[in-house]
Structure 1
Amino acid sequence: MKKKIHQLLAFSFLILLSSCSKDAYDDYYGRPDTLEPPIYQQLEARGNFKNLLVLIEKAGYKDILGKAGYWTMMAPNDEAFTKYFQQQGIIDVNKIDAETAGKIVRYALIYNAFRTEQLSDYQSGTGWVADNAFRRRTAFYDGFITKTINGQPKVIVGANRNGGYAIGDNNNKYISYFTDEYFAAKSLSAVDFNYFYPNAQYSGFNVLDSKVTQADIIAENGIIHEIDKVNLPLPTLEQYLEQNPKYSKFRELLEDHGLVSYFFSQEVTNTYRNYSGKSDDVYIKFYDPSLSFSPNNENYLKQADNDGQSDLYTILVPENAPLQEFIDKVLLKNYSSLNVLPLYIFRDFINAHMVQNAVWPSKGPSNSNALNENLRFDFNSDIVEAKILSNGFFYGTKKIQKSNLFYSVYTSAYLDPKFTMATRLMNDGSGLKEMISNISTRYTLFLPSDAKLMEMGFGYNATLSSWTYINPAVGGSSIASGLARARLLRILYNGIVLTPNGELDDLSGSGIIRTGDMDLPGEYIKWKNNKLYAAGNEVTGGVPVGIIGHEDQQNGRTYYVDNLLQYSEEMQGLKIKRLSETANSEYLSFFNYLKNSSLYDAVTGKIQGVELGTSYTFVIPNNAAIAKAITKDVLPPSVTPSSQYDKDRIANFIRAHILVNKIASDDGLTTGEFETLRKDDFGEKTYVLVQSTPGTLSFRDSYLNLAHYIPAQSNNLADRSLIHLVDNYLTYQQ
């Protein structure tokens, strides 16, 4: 009996002890009395979210929002729903189906909890960036969509990267909001807000065009911001284009000419089949990766996980009428239909209307498109509508972006199938495209056709992506692709001339001009009576380049030509030799010293130290100047002296008259001190001062001897060189 009593007392004590432990446990781990209720209960308790609560239950989110989690909810109040019912022509919330309920609820839910002061800050990978965000990712995404593609139904998902797809990323939509802090940091104002929402009032904290009537309602599982409007998920840029027929021409260029592709994905198909129970295959819709962005990508650049908080895309889309006029007058000027235009034209045209950043209305023209051109729209008169969408700003326009590519001398080749070889080379990283398509700088372009290039031995193997050249004059010998490309590049560069004042608009007279631009000067070419000559044209029997037509563009003139502006492949010494062989040649005395010197190879014409492909200026004293140099004992009287001393004097005299790495002419483009081929007794470089203005050219040595060029016998073309006759000799300090 005692044993039973003791057992009973022990059991009672354990019960008491257990009870005390539970109280202690609850005190430590239990839900604090001061903790705010979860989002669902908070909405319920406040009494003015009755309609939203019905939709939360229809959408299947009551349990989620009534328990744990970490959300921000942009919650429309009952007054917002009253306006929504009127707009939709329905009686009450019961008329809203589950699918629409899901859209409203999930688009109102932002991942993670953000108080008002945090919403304007960007969550970068390295920390918070103050006042640099105006968007957040929501719980809504489109998912799998069935569309008819080329007459066949297909289940597709949009790309969730630009030119790519990441498994497990649902391509969630973003929602935009506008705060005083963000606007102040970005120098924006209510003007920018009202440009998109002309019938709304900027309040300092707006979610799209709705006002936040009460912010920072704290809940156990997040933050609630009460708003006065019901927001449905916004379309992407792609979806808005698809919905709006007045931009159908632009959409056709984007969708129907090689910029869109559909790829089957087994992984995504497996996900779809598990989710839906259906057996369809799923295709990912990709846009050409060379486009600035994919209009169906909701994730912005994704260079950092949250970069979509701080920026979005912008697209400017012309209405059908101005676009059709551009297609007819520009794109199809030399093509029979859009179907035969090269793919790169579509890429460039679309990119001309894309910006990889948010273009705010007040800052429109200061932005650059994907071709690095400034936007050429007047945001006060050229924009017919402005929309903030889920992944970008959309501007409908009454004109096209007047892109460099379609209004410059580059356009003459770019939009004509007769010049595809020149266009290919301009586009392959040569830098020619960027140079001559700059519509703020005037150029003259001498453009050979594909037929002429092929006749002259050039070709392109598209299968191997390689250039070919077979020399028609040397028994059909061919050279490697890289050398063939370099050869053609140099010839085409001979036909590009910077002409800020239209210097070559009239070729009926005569003259000489430098090719290339100021950053990369080219060689010189001449013209006379509508015929052109580069150094190689003179060497090859004087066969000139004729003009067979021209076209004026916004930044200059394109001449269509019947021959190539060939560069010379002979040594400059041979050109000096020919100059000395004319009757009463003023070059003869100098050449007599040159040909008998140790520097000269009589067979090849090579001058020691002078290499093909390098720029030089040859300053040749005339006969009287050579006689003067002999009188002053600068040169020995004999061109074939016996002493090594005199031989060296002749060699150094010749070197002192050859300027290295510089082509000087009488155009005012080259002034300054430039190195000669001559080295002093210590092996140091010697220099000559070149002074040039339009119509004058002079050379001065270190002894202040001045030599003026003789115009009628100067500006002779050679390989990357000019040969001038001057009235004095140049010398050098020993």
Structure 2
Amino acid sequence: MPIKFNQKIVRVLLCLVLCSPFFFSCKDDYIYDDREPDNLNASIYDYLKSEGDFTYFLRLIDDMGYTETLSRTGSKTLLPARDEAFERFFKNNSYGVAGYDDLTPVLKRMIMNSSMINMAYLSYMLSNVGSTSSSSGEGLAMRINSSNTFIDNVPFYDNEDLFNGNIYWKRFAGKGLYLSDNGTAPLVHFTPSFMSTLGVTSDDFSVFSNGKTFTLGSDIYINDTKVVQADIICKNGYIHIMEGLLLPLDNMDKIIENDSQTRIFSSLMSRFCAPYYDPDIEARIRSYYDGTTPDKTIPADSIFIKKYFTESNAIDPYEKSMENYGLLYFDPADNSYPSSAKTDIGVMFVPTDEAMDNYMNGTQGAYLKDVYGSWENVPTDLLALFIKNHQKRSFTASLPHTWETMTDESSFDMNVSRNDVVRSYWGCNGIVYVTNKVYPPIDYQSVYGSAMASSLTQVMKVAIKDTEMKFFYFLRSMENRYNLLVPTDAAMKNYRDPISWGLAANGEASDRQIWDFYLENNQLRADIYASDALGNKGAKIKTIGKETDEMYMIRNRLSDLLDMHIIVADKENDVLSGDIDEGMKYAMTKGGSVVKIDGTNDAIQLAGGGNMESGQEPATIVHLDNGSLARYESDNGRTFFIDHIMQDPFKSVYTVLKEHDEYKAFFELCEGNSTVFSYFKDDEDIVPVFDRSVTQSSAGLGYVVKSFNNFRYTVFVPTAEALRKAFDEDPDLCTWEEINAETDPAKKKTKCLYLLNFLKYHFMDNLVPVSGKPFGNLTYETASRTPSGKFNKVTLYSNTGNDLNIECTDTGVKASVVTADRSLYNVLARDYIVDNSDIKSATNILSSSRVVIHQIDHALKAQ
């Protein structure tokens, strides 16, 4: 029923309050503590007695020894229920109480103390806090302390499910323990002022109160119970009559534990809490339970409180750090969360057992099922991510009307719907929504979730989650779709170091190295071994990673490796983007290289340029011990556990061109003439195709293409016949011998620039293989320039997917890739820049350019 106010009395009292120096207090400091005012109702006790339908509550007052307190002047707020509310309670409650005489002393204390506030509050004052320079403090509060304390009830606890949760509880199995509440349970209230100030809608209220209505502007609810008559002014305080009995609200932890539909989630939570001993709390409890009466007797056993491992409590009862164990955002067993604040509470979305089972046995949770079999076996560090993603630190920041755009605490969409909510509970420290849906963290939803879970891929797990390399940020994107290739820990023992193998491959004397990545105390390490040309390990050289400065080397290689194992699957109009197990022949990696793919579905075989270059077997998808294939679908792509590392090419463009007889004519032109280049050594306009790119702190790993710049490229190599034809048809195109023989400096420079520009026309931005997929016109820039200084462009197209055609956009000259000899097109190379001018002392890759090389049947020609 609507709340009715005695307007005349309220006006009188407000005038008195306005004259008080305590006007801005969040409570009404009752001015008649020592004398009785005229024209007010009787005392609280006498008022209840005169009404005639508070028989049970009066008995409660008498039994609890509050008769004198509520009969004389004082400063109290009482929240009593009428007799009919007690009768309803006796007919339906979880305590087995059928009548007043069945009430235990504990229940009497809980009802009485929850129904009384030790200060006088008009209803509108419940939601006020102290004013500040920036706020009046009105309408901000949603909690207030009653007379209830944690001492009112210290139950004996013998929940065997909890005792099986972790080692901290196991010592109480079969014995039990006394477990006090962690703090006093405050009253949670919703008032018109709070609803208006915080923007809580009546629809919001309906969601978190299981369909109850709230009339904005008039209704008040306290502990999920409606106030049916507010602001009855008595000479020693105020009365707000409740629709039902007030009992202290359980905290979120107890709510979840007691709900029959949330057993699985509750059991998982139990792995993140422990009994903590607090001598001060025990002393306070012992002081009250002094044995003076039967109801004030408690055995001599130690008394504990239940606390969770959280970001603010990261130590166990023995002061051991729990950082690596796994931490929750906040403690659902802490009655005062958040930090005794009156203005907010927490929220937990708790999936039903059915929802938990459906997730574990469905597509999304398949990798958890494969690895662990059930929720109980999921390790705590991984489980903590799951549980805490169902926590929201702030109720006021996660109201139901915001759910469509609400994010988790890591700022990723949660996608919560009102239809997900099975039922709701008010807790003293938060609202619990029982849901028919699981809200996995972004780590579970993304392609790297399966790598985090599997014992086979722990090295890649740590590499992906490394906070300096930050690949997990990239892979968390739900706007993109990925193929993630995850080498197993066994595969990670055979990484061919690109620097040492690159030195050897490019004709620089070098001892090849194999790096064996592993974890030591969850830290990345690498044992470095000598290797022969076949990749067979020799003697161990050293271990790196134990020293801080060596971690840069490990991250340098793992970053390079991860770039090779991520393939974006949804780039529009990109023939090298897609799901790699659906018939693709080549796919572009994040780093700009390509992976060659044979087969489809479960039978795919994968190889990088380095794997093909050194004759390694292609990688395949791993089969698990249970016979299933380690191929997983996630919300943003597919994950494949593979048995070999994808290796980028070790050979440079210079080396690849030099090694192929069919490329010789073009290579020799690109290599240039040392005498000519020496002649123009001080001329900045003359830039050779190849150079060692030596600086004070870096160098190319052998000769590199000077125009390349940490990107991906295509090199078109005209056949010897095509080059002869080009020189025959263009009188301005001179050989290096002719240029060297030219005695006029100006003509010499003109001829040199013309030839270099002709050659650079064959070096194109972007890497385009013959991919097996046809595509329309795609235009790219070359390294060659027009007379005005702009880059010349070529247009590429493929009619069948097994051809590749090139057209010069300014001249219309056309050429096609020669596909008769498989060894002369789709040849992969990589130019490396390393971190030392002495390349044999280099330790890290600074940059690189990935390249595909094709032989073509016609030279490309500018104007």
Q: TM-score, normalised by structure 2?
A: 0.64
User: Aligned letter for 2:274?
Assistant: S
Aligned position for 1:99: 106
Counterparts of residues 605-620 of structure 1 (less than 5 Å): 605-607=702-704, 614-617=710-713
Matched residues, percent identical? 17
User: Aligned letter for 2:135?
Assistant: G
Contact 1:672/1:690, CA 8 A, preserved across alignment:
yes
Task: Sort the Cα spacing of 1:470 and 1:99 in 2 relative to 1 into closer, same or farther, 3 A.
Answer: same
Alpha-carbon deviations, 1:587-622, whole Å to 9, x = none? 42543328885652499523386899x335365674
Distance 2:70 2:478 in 1: 58
Counterparts of residues 330-341 of structure 1 (less than 5 Å): 330=366, 331-335=368-372, 340-341=377-378
Alpha-carbon deviations, 1:247-291, whole Å to 9, x = none? 2222222214xx223344455455555555676445443323232
Structure 2 residue corresponding to 1:498, chosen from 568, 586, 591: 568
User: Aligned letter for 1:345?
Assistant: L
The answer to whether the aligner puts 1:212 opposite 2:227 as a matched pair is yes
Distance 1:670 1:356 in 2: 53
Aligned position for 1:442: 481
| Between 261-270 and 686-695, the greater mean CA deviation after superposition | 686-695
Counterparts of residues 13-412 of structure 1 (less than 5 Å): 31=35, 33=37, 40=44, 43=47, 47=51, 49=54, 51-61=56-66, 72-87=77-92, 96-110=103-117, 114-119=121-126, 127-128=135-136, 133-142=141-150, 145-148=155-158, 149-150=169-170, 151=173, 152-157=175-180, 170-177=183-190, 179=192, 182=195, 186=199, 188-189=201-202, 192-193=205-206, 196-198=209-211, 204-218=219-233, 223-256=238-271, 259-269=272-282, 271-272=284-285, 276=289, 280-289=301-310, 290-302=327-339, 306=341, 308-319=342-353, 321-324=354-357, 326-327=359-360, 330=366, 331-335=368-372, 340-358=377-395, 364-370=403-409, 374-375=413-414, 379-380=418-419, 382-401=420-439, 409-412=447-450
Task: Sort the Cα spacing of 1:607 and 1:399 in 2 relative to 1 into closer, same or farther, 3 A.
Answer: closer
User: Aligned letter for 1:106?
Assistant: N
Distance 1:677 1:34 in 2: 101
Structure 2 residue corresponding to 1:532, chosen from 592, 602, 606: 606
Aligned position for 1:419: 457
Counterparts of residues 479-628 of structure 1 (less than 5 Å): 479=544, 480-500=550-570, 503-506=578-581, 510-511=585-586, 513-516=587-590, 522-528=592-598, 530-541=604-615, 544-547=618-621, 551-555=631-635, 556-568=637-649, 571-578=652-659, 581-583=660-662, 587-593=666-672, 597=677, 600-601=691-692, 604-607=701-704, 614-617=710-713, 622=718, 627=727
Task: Sort the Cα spacing of 1:469 and 1:594 in 2 relative to 1 into closer, same or farther, 3 A.
Answer: farther
| Between 75-84 and 452-461, the greater mean CA deviation after superposition | 75-84
Secondary structure of 2:493's aligned partner = helix
Alpha-carbon deviations, 1:383-436, whole Å to 9, x = none? 433222222222334454466655654344334322222223223335444554
- The alpha carbon displacement at 1:447 in A equals 2.4
User: Aligned letter for 1:300?
Assistant: Y
Secondary structure of 1:176's aligned partner = strand
Task: Sort the Cα spacing of 1:407 and 1:586 in 2 relative to 1 into closer, same or farther, 3 A.
Answer: farther
Distance 1:155 1:699 in 2: 84
Distance 2:335 2:455 in 1: 37
Secondary structure of 1:497's aligned partner = strand
Distance 1:440 1:292 in 2: 26
| Between 716-725 and 641-650, the greater mean CA deviation after superposition | 641-650
Task: Give unmatched runs, 5+ long, in structure 2.
Answer: 1-30, 159-168, 291-298, 311-326, 496-514, 533-538, 545-549, 572-576, 623-628, 678-687, 694-699, 819-824, 831-847
- The alpha carbon displacement at 1:565 in A equals 0.7
Alpha-carbon deviations, 1:681-716, whole Å to 9, x = none? 9xxx97676877888898989xx6788885554674
Contact 1:616/1:658, CA 8 A, preserved across alignment:
no
Secondary structure of 1:459's aligned partner = strand
Contact 1:237/1:392, CA 8 A, preserved across alignment:
yes
Distance 2:100 2:708 in 1: 86
What is the CA RMSD across the aligned residues, in angstroms? 5.1
Distance 1:590 1:41 in 2: 108
- The alpha carbon displacement at 1:483 in A equals 2.0
- The alpha carbon displacement at 1:239 in A equals 1.0
Aligned position for 1:473: 531
Contact 1:292/1:356, CA 8 A, preserved across alignment:
yes
Alpha-carbon deviations, 1:188-242, whole Å to 9, x = none? 2257427634477767333344332222334677654222221211212211232
Secondary structure of 1:574's aligned partner = helix
Contact 1:619/1:724, CA 8 A, preserved across alignment:
yes
Task: Sort the Cα spacing of 1:671 and 1:408 in 2 relative to 1 into closer, same or farther, 3 A.
Answer: same
Contact 2:349/2:435, CA 8 A, preserved across alignment:
no
Secondary structure of 2:337's aligned partner = coil
Secondary structure of 1:450's aligned partner = coil
Secondary structure of 1:215's aligned partner = strand
Contact 1:179/1:205, CA 8 A, preserved across alignment:
yes
Contact 1:52/1:76, CA 8 A, preserved across alignment:
yes
Contact 2:389/2:408, CA 8 A, preserved across alignment:
yes
Contact 1:312/1:356, CA 8 A, preserved across alignment:
yes
User: Aligned letter for 1:615?
Assistant: F
Structure 1 residue corresponding to 2:520, chosen from 453, 459, 462: 462
Aligned position for 1:162: none
Task: Sort the Cα spacing of 1:388 and 1:272 in 2 relative to 1 into closer, same or farther, 3 A.
Answer: closer
Distance 2:794 2:36 in 1: 88
Secondary structure of 1:564's aligned partner = coil
User: Aligned letter for 2:452?
Assistant: Y
Contact 1:72/1:224, CA 8 A, preserved across alignment:
yes
Secondary structure of 2:490's aligned partner = helix
Aligned position for 1:16: none
Count of aligned positions? 675
Task: Give unmatched runs, 5+ long, in structure 1.
Answer: 1-26, 160-169
Contact 1:407/1:553, CA 8 A, preserved across alignment:
no
Contact 2:268/2:376, CA 8 A, preserved across alignment:
no
Distance 1:46 1:674 in 2: 95
User: Aligned letter for 2:671?
Assistant: N
Contact 2:307/2:334, CA 8 A, preserved across alignment:
no
Contact 1:526/1:533, CA 8 A, preserved across alignment:
yes
User: Aligned letter for 2:691?
Assistant: Y
Structure 2 residue corresponding to 1:451, chosen from 469, 485, 490: 490
Distance 2:484 2:143 in 1: 48
Contact 1:71/1:113, CA 8 A, preserved across alignment:
yes
Alpha-carbon deviations, 1:131-164, whole Å to 9, x = none? 55544444434355543442144444555xxxxx
Distance 2:585 2:519 in 1: 39
